[in-house]
Structure 1
Amino acid sequence: MTTTAPPTPPDTDAVAFVAALRRLKAWSGLSYRQLERRATQAGHSLPYSTAATMLGRDRLPRQELVAAFVAACGLRADQAQAWLDARVTIACGGPAEATPTARNRSFGRPGRALAGAVALVGVLLAGASAAGAFTDDVEVERTRTSLHLPRS
């Protein structure tokens, strides 16, 4: 590790976050195998191949991987918590001040609205089916099945 300050985590998007993780690895000066050993010593699991894959993508890594990675890089507890907080902020849609309508964020995403509508229709259809709304009453009357077994 160098004597310079470690990079700070951005809380804007996953691409910037992973790029900052790459800078953190470079700052640490450790190989992937060394990171794996240091994570294990800190009580985490971080296989070297997982760390390499994590830094090779532009997707937001899982929280436990970020915790293991920043611990392996040698960050203090408060610095590690800043990385975890930034990850949560990105996972939850970014900083609140980034958009003026942060409270209505889901209304601007047609994919979520469509998924919600499909789920609602599915629940309504299941309820109607369970209530017998799709059965023909005449057919039910003609079928005179008994719930009692005949006595022998």
Structure 2
Amino acid sequence: MTPGEHAPDPREARSPAEFLGRLQALKDWSGLTYRELSARAEASGDVLPRSTVANMLSRPTLPREELLAAFARACGLAPGEAEDWRTVRNQLAARGVYEAGPAATGPAAAEDPGAPPTWPVAPEAARPGEPRPGPRSRIRRGLVAAVALAGLALAGVSVVAFLKDGHAGHPPRTPTAPAAGDVRIRVTGTDFCLGERRGTRTGQIHQLPCAAAGVPGYSLAELGGGRWRIVSHHPDFGPGCSGIPSGGRIPGAAYEDSECGDPTRVESFTLEAYGTPVEGYRIVPVDSATPGSCVTVVGDHSAAWSRLAQAPCAPDAAGQLFDFDRD
């Protein structure tokens, strides 16, 4: 749990699937492993087996009230916060869908429905007393518009070049193909590598500067049939495996490092070449319950510490291409 960071709010859930997503976020917020949650529950007099928690987060149904209460307490919620989770759970169970909040307000919502309609004025219409624009005025406007469009086109080319090369002044790198052994996993076209934030136990994988001290390394292990396991070497917690929790059932589920061999996680991937010539490699979860998903940098692709998650594979592959530097 990060100091100053508030626990996820269950009242944002509008369906059982969203509620399960918030539960997974609550586990991530706690920073505790399944074993640690089970131990904390036992110390408080609750029974919360590790396998029960894993099944709760992977099933598409709402958890039992007593299981939810024990889980909330183990995550570190205060009694009032735990009660909010129970209330939302019961509302969802009773109605199927948690009612949406009040309608959004804004200028459009504040319009008087009885007011007469207003109509746009034609661009060439002149106000009374003003001369109509002459031919030279129209030509001048056309030239200004043409220059502006040319400037936008040049700016667009510059932006594309910037994104493709990672940043100005850096030539594009030739992506390194996956091979068994130790690697640093780089976000293609950038100076970011994958790793965890030191001092936390969430296992959440972020992109961070490759030159940063203590960047955890990874190893690729072939599983056969084109499948790979991505093994993490964390300087604090030792070896683990990268994966998607809850079998990939939750859209937007975190891409995270955790203990290897958890049956509820997706821990095998295909590393698929993208583009001709190859621009990079997609990390695709095998047998994810959300088909068509890729490991993706979500949020600001240009910012350090943007997190990675399961997301739909996109045609432009933005934030979904990686290469595997061998040290």
TM superposition score category, shorter chain reference: 0.5 to 0.7
CA deviation after TM superposition for structure 1 residue 2, in Å: 1.6
Deviations 1:32-67 (A, max 9, x none): 010001111222111000000111122111111100
Between the aligned partners of 2:100 and 2:58, the Cα distance in structure 1 is 29
Deviations 1:16-41 (A, max 9, x none): 11100000000000000100011112
Unaligned stretches of 5+ residues in structure 2: 102-327
For 2:6, give the aligned amino acid: A
The answer to whether the 8 Å contact 2:16/2:60 transfers is yes
Between the aligned partners of 2:26 and 2:100, the Cα distance in structure 1 is 26
TM-score by length of 1: 0.60
Residue aligning to 1:85: 87
Between the aligned partners of 1:8 and 1:75, the Cα distance in structure 2 is 11
CA deviation after TM superposition for structure 1 residue 95, in Å: 3.9
Q: How does 1:12-27 map to 2 (within 5 A)?
A: 12-27=14-29
For 1:2, give the aligned amino acid: T
Residue aligning to 1:116: none
Between the aligned partners of 2:46 and 2:62, the Cα distance in structure 1 is 19
For 1:5, give the aligned amino acid: H
Residue aligning to 2:2: 2
Give the number of equivalent residue pairs: 98
Give the secondary structure class of the aligned counterpart of 2:10.
Answer: coil
The answer to whether the 8 Å contact 2:14/2:100 transfers is no
Residue aligning to 2:75: 73
Give the secondary structure class of the aligned counterpart of 1:92.
Answer: helix
Between the aligned partners of 1:78 and 1:7, the Cα distance in structure 2 is 14
Higher strand share: 2
Larger relative contact order, structure 1 or 2 (CA cutoff 8 Å, min sep 6): 1
- The reply on whether 1:42 has 2:38 as its aligned counterpart is no
Between the aligned partners of 1:61 and 1:72, the Cα distance in structure 2 is 15
Between the aligned partners of 1:64 and 1:85, the Cα distance in structure 2 is 13
Change (3 A) 1:90 1:7: same
CA deviation after TM superposition for structure 1 residue 97, in Å: 6.7
Q: How does 1:132-151 map to 2 (within 5 A)?
A: none
Between the aligned partners of 2:98 and 2:24, the Cα distance in structure 1 is 22
CA deviation after TM superposition for structure 1 residue 91, in Å: 0.7
Two-structure CA RMSD over aligned residues (Å): 1.6
Residue aligning to 1:106: none
Structure 1 stretches of at least 4 aligned residues deviating more than 2 Å after TM superposition: 94-98
Of residues 7-16 and 68-77 in structure 1, the stretch that sits farther from structure 2 once superposed is: 7-16
- The reply on whether 1:57 has 2:71 as its aligned counterpart is no
Unaligned stretches of 5+ residues in structure 1: 99-152
Identity of aligned residues (%): 43
Between the aligned partners of 1:80 and 1:25, the Cα distance in structure 2 is 13
Between the aligned partners of 1:29 and 1:59, the Cα distance in structure 2 is 24
TM-score by length of 2: 0.29
For 2:85, give the aligned amino acid: W
Between the aligned partners of 1:92 and 1:46, the Cα distance in structure 2 is 25
Higher helix share: 1
